[in-house]
Amino acid sequence: VNARPAGYVPATGRVGSVAAYDRIIAATTRERRFRGDLAARLLAAAPSGGTVVDVGAGTGTFAIALARMRPDLRVLAVDGDPDALAIARAKSGAAAVDWRPGLAGGLPLEDGVADVVSMSLLLHHLDGPGKHAALAEAGRVLRPGGTLHIADWGRAGDPAMRVAFLVLQLVDGFAGTRDHARGRIPQFVRTAGFTDVVRHERLRTVFGRLELLSARWPAVA
């Protein structure tokens, strides 16, 4: 399940090793702020004893933090890169997370198992069809009424942020990042069938504008 398909963009894009990923994120993304805000919103939506799935979990910092903050939850973390998962599994607190090799477009999970799905810095690694497939899978594994929480790059809004994001585009490639530069992620989420798509925050960072979104998988009538 974890054979990386053609076009797969690993954690550090087309440069560097995944071993450097945590340091790069800490230095460039206002990590404490964005992870803290994403976690707070996501955990508020997670019922006691519920299941959270972190898709594209990478080196596991976010999934481990969720499990630490809410030991009552079952936290499942999926990533397509065995090297990233090996780093995650070696971290303190990793035993509280269920690590699953797998691709966002074909999650190794049953229908409706999740109360909450998170995608932190995943979508810009996927091209248009990849984003559609990943969002459709998020909907499939969510229970009716469950919620999706996204942290990812949005439209720059000013020239300085546009130049900053261009640097990230050169590193991660244009196929996945183009729709972010155009501010199209909320539309992708709606097209996948989610409702109540809300943008909560837009943070200025070294690599451009980082946005936090949430959306609801509709309850069946």
Ligand X SMILES: C[S@@+](CC[C@H](N)C(=O)[O-])C[C@H]1O[C@@H](n2cnc3c(N)ncnc32)[C@H](O)[C@@H]1O
Binding site for ligand X (CB under 6 A): 8-11, 25, 56-58, 61-62, 79-81, 84, 103-105, 120-122, 125-126
Shorter beta-carbon distance to ligand X: residue 2 or 183: 2
Residue 131 vs residues 44, 143, 166: alpha-carbon distances, Å: 26, 20, 20
Q: Which residue is nearest to ligand X (CB)?
A: 58
Shorter beta-carbon distance to ligand X: residue 62 or 194: 62
Shorter beta-carbon distance to ligand X: residue 96 or 218: 96
Say if strands 97-101 and 74-79 run parallel, antiparallel, or are unpaired.
Answer: parallel
Closest contact distance (angstroms) between CB of 68 and ligand X is: 16
Taking the C-alpha atoms of residue 116 and residue 149, their distance in angstroms, rounded to an integer, is 8
Taking the C-alpha atoms of residue 125 and residue 176, their distance in angstroms, rounded to an integer, is 5
Shorter beta-carbon distance to ligand X: residue 25 or 161: 25
Closest contact distance (angstroms) between CB of 33 and ligand X is: 13
Angle at 183 between CA 77 and CA 216, to 5 degrees: 50
Closest contact distance (angstroms) between CB of 183 and ligand X is: 20
Contact status, residue 151 vs residue 34, Cβ threshold 8 Å? yes
Shorter beta-carbon distance to ligand X: residue 118 or 159: 118
Shorter beta-carbon distance to ligand X: residue 48 or 172: 172
The pair of structure tokens assigned to 17 is 């090793």
Closest contact distance (angstroms) between CB of 119 and ligand X is: 7
The pair of structure tokens assigned to 72 is 């009552």
Taking the C-alpha atoms of residue 220 and residue 155, their distance in angstroms, rounded to an integer, is 33
Closest contact distance (angstroms) between CB of 181 and ligand X is: 16
Closest contact distance (angstroms) between CB of 63 and ligand X is: 8
Which helix or strand (DSSP H or E) is residue 176 part of? helix 174-181
CA 174 to chain centre: 18
